[in-house]
Structure 1
Amino acid sequence: MTRALAMISGGLDSILAAKLMKDQGIEVIGICFKSYFFNEDSARRMVDQIGVRLEVVDFSKEHFEMVKNPKNGYGKNMNPCIDCHAMMMRYSGELLEKFQADFIITGEVLNQRPMSQNRTALDKVKKESGIGNKILRPLCAKNLQPTEMEQQGLVDREKLLDISGRSRKVQMELAEKWGIKEYPSPAGGCKLTEPNYSKRLKDILQNKKDVEEREIQLLRFGRHFRVSENAKIISTRTADEAEHIKKLLGKDDTIFLARDFKGSMVIGVGELSQEDIEFAAKVTARYSKGKDSEKVVVKYGKYGKPSNNIIEVETITDKELDKYIVN
C-alpha cells in the first residue's frame, strides 16, 4: 500500500491535502513540527477530524538557530518562511525511511502568499530541502509539473487540484463537503508572523548573545520595555498573563506590585540598576488603579521571596513609556 507523510501545520490547507490523498486510498501519517514559536495543539485537533495519525517532531533548537540568520531572509515580520519550509521538508525526508513512506505531502498553494508561495519560492524550497523529487503539493499540483509519484502511478493526477491565489473559497467549500468544521485562520499559529512578537524577538536578539528558552517564552506575554542592554521590564496585561509568566520566572527576577492598589504585576529581568528599579516602579504605578494618584507606593523583591523593598514614585508619562516600549 502506498504511504505518505503529510506535513500538518494545523491550518486548513494541510489537512485538506492530507484528506485528498487519503481519499485516493493512500495511507497518510501526519507530521507536525514543534518549536519555540508554534506547537502541535491545532494539528491534533485537525487530524482528529479526518482520522489521521499524528507524529510530533520537536526541532526547537535547530529552528531557533535558523531564525536568527535565515539564508533567504524574513517575510513581513520575523518569519523566515522559505527556510522554515525547507527545514521541515528536510526533516520529513529523513523520516521517510523510518515510517517506510513513499513521499511527502504539503498543503502549499501556488501564489497564496506572495513571498513564500510563489513559483520561485516553491522551487527554492524544493531544491533546498534536498528531497524535491519526493514532494507533492496536492492542492495546486495541476499548476505544477507532474511529480515522479504521479508519473509512476502512485498518485492519480486527475484527482489532484489546481488551486491558485489568495482566495480560500475552494478550500472552504472542500472543508464543508468533508465535514471539517473547526479550523484556524491562515497563519494564525506562528508567533513569528505577529508584528509585536517579532519586535520583541528582534530586540532580544540584538541585546543578548545567548538567549534562554524561558526568555523566548516570556516574549508571548505582557508589555515589554527595554531599559538597558542587560535588562528589561515586563508589565502583565491580565491576571491570566501573570499566572503564565510566574511559571517562567526564576530567583534572579524582580517582582514589582503597587502596595495599595490592584493592578499589573511588573517583572524586572536581568541586571537592574537603581534607575531601572525606579522605571519599573513607575510602570507599576501607571498600570495600577492608583495611576491618577500624586504618588504610588510600590513594593518589590526577588521572585519567591518577600517583597520587603519599598519605593514611592509618580506615574510614568506616556512620553517616557514610548521611549522604552518594545511593542
Structure 2
Amino acid sequence: MSQDAKNTEEKKPKAVALLSGGLDSNLAVRMMKEQGVEVEAVAIKTPFCDFDCGKGCGHRVKEVADELDVKLKTVYFGEDYLRMLKNPKHGYGSGMNPCIDCREMMYGAAKEHMEKIGADFIITGEVLFQRPMSQNNKALHIIENETGLEGKVLRPLSAKHLPPTDAEKDGLIKRENMGDIKGRSRKGQLALAKHFGVHEPPNAAGGCLLTDPAFSKRVEDVMEHAADIPSINDIELLKVGRHFRLNPAVKLVVGRNKDENEIMKALVEDGDVVFEAVDHVGPTCILRGKNDDDAIARAAGITLRYSDAPKDARSKVRVTVAGKEQIIEASPAGIAETDALRL
C-alpha cells in the first residue's frame, strides 16, 4: 500500500456539531465519537437564547463541551439576528419565533467553521417532528437547500427516517448505527443516555424566549414601534419588569422586585427618564421614547400604583433625567388604566 493511500485510510472523518447543551445534541456528538469521528462544536448565542438564560437553551453548553472533550467555538448573533427577526423570510411560529430563518443562521455559522477546519459534515441533535415549524421534512430540506448544505447535515438521532447523507454514502459513518427516533417522546433519548452512561440527563434545550406568548407580545410591540430595529439594550429591557405602552412613541417598564430594579438601573440609557417613589418602597421605572408632560404624569401615577404609597392620596415621585433629579407629586394610577396600557 502506498504511503498516500495509507494516510487516507488512517485519516479520521471530522464533523462540526451544533451544540446546545441539551440532551439531544449531547447524544448526537457521543454517537459520532463512538464511530471514530473527530468532532468540534459550535454553540450559538442570540439575544433571546443565552447559555445562562435559565430556560434550558444551551444552559450547560460549556460544561457539556468539556464532558464530551470537544473544542468549542461560540458564535454570537446580535444586530444581524434582530434584523432577521424584523422580517423573517419564512415567517414566525406560534410566537415571534422565526425558527427556519434562525436555523439557517445557525447552519451558516456551522458551515463556516466546517470549511475553516476542513471538516467533512455537520451534525445536529435535531429530531424529526420534535418541533412543528423547523423539524419536519420540508423545513429541513429548505434549510439545507438555502444554506448550500444539501447532503452535508447528519442528524444522528433520526437518521434512519431521513435520506442518506454524503457521510453515509461515502462510508464515513455507518447508517445502521444511526438512530430512528422521531416525535416528541423522550424514550429513545433516555435509552441512549443510559447506553452512554449519561447520569441525570438534562431536559431538551429549547428555552428560546421567542416561543413564550407573553414575551412574544413585548417583542412584537418593540419591533412595531422601532424606527429601524431595536437595540440590544431594548431587548435586554424586555426581559425584566412590567411593560406599558403609553403611546406609540413611549413605553414604561416597571420593576417587579429588588433584583429587577438593580438590573433596570444598569440598563438606563441617555434620554431615559427614571421614576421612583420618594417616601415609600416601590419599583424603579424607566420611561423610554419621546416623552412629554402627559407621559411623565402617567408614568408617575403608575410608579405609585406599584409602590406602597396610599392609593387614595397624592405622593411624591423622584424623576431623574441625565443625572438631574426633580420631585413631582402624583396620584396612583387606577387598576383599569394600568390594565389598559399593559403589554
Q: Pick the TM interval, shorter chain.
A: over 0.9
After TM superposition, list the pairs within 5 Å mapping 1:50-129 onto structure 2.
50-129=68-147
Q: What CA distance in whole angstroms lies between the structure 2 residues aligned with 1:209 and 1:47?
A: 40
After TM superposition, list the pairs within 5 Å mapping 1:182-197 onto structure 2.
183-188=202-207, 190-197=208-215
Q: C-alpha displacement at 1:186, in angstroms?
A: 4.2
Q: What CA distance in whole angstroms lies between the structure 1 residues aligned with 2:194 and 2:336?
A: 50
**Structural RMSD (CA):** 1.7
SS at match of 1:49: helix
Q: C-alpha displacement at 1:272, in angstroms?
A: 1.2
Q: Give the structure 1 partner of residue 233 of structure 2.
A: 214
Q: Give the structure 1 partner of residue 47 of structure 2.
A: 36
Q: Deviations over 1:127-175 (max 9, x none)?
A: 1221122100000000111111011111111111000111112213333
TM-score with structure 2 setting the length? 0.89
After TM superposition, list the pairs within 5 Å mapping 1:235-246 onto structure 2.
235-246=254-265
Pairing partner for 2:253 from 234, 253, 262: 234
Native 8 Å contact 1:49 1:180 kept in 2: no
Pairing partner for 2:332 from 300, 315, 321: 315
Native 8 Å contact 2:265 2:284 kept in 1: no
Pairing partner for 2:161 from 143, 156, 159: 143
SS at match of 2:223: helix
Q: C-alpha displacement at 1:89, in angstroms?
A: 0.9
Q: C-alpha displacement at 1:30, in angstroms?
A: 0.9
Higher mean C-alpha deviation, range 78-87 or range 58-67 = 58-67
Q: Give the structure 2 partner of residue 26 of structure 1.
A: 37
Q: C-alpha displacement at 1:180, in angstroms?
A: 4.7
- Output the amino acid matched with 1:111: F
Q: C-alpha displacement at 1:185, in angstroms?
A: 4.8
- Matched residue count: 323
Q: C-alpha displacement at 1:270, in angstroms?
A: 1.7
Q: Deviations over 1:92-123 (max 9, x none)?
A: 11221211211000111111112221221122
Native 8 Å contact 2:125 2:156 kept in 1: yes
TM-score with structure 1 setting the length? 0.93
- Output the amino acid matched with 1:325: R
Q: C-alpha displacement at 1:233, in angstroms?
A: 0.4
Native 8 Å contact 1:257 1:265 kept in 2: yes
Pair 1:285–1:27, CA change in 2 (3 A)? same
Q: C-alpha displacement at 1:79, in angstroms?
A: 0.5
Native 8 Å contact 2:13 2:172 kept in 1: yes
Q: What CA distance in whole angstroms lies between the structure 2 residues aligned with 1:99 and 1:291?
A: 65
Q: Give the structure 2 partner of residue 6 of structure 1.
A: 17
Q: Give the structure 2 partner of residue 271 of structure 1.
A: 290
Pairing partner for 1:173 from 188, 191, 205: 191
Pair 1:55–1:170, CA change in 2 (3 A)? same
The answer as to 2:292 corresponding to 1:281 is no
Q: Deviations over 1:237-281 (max 9, x none)?
A: 121112222222123211111111111111111221111111111
Q: Give the structure 1 partner of residue 273 of structure 2.
A: 254
Native 8 Å contact 2:47 2:78 kept in 1: yes
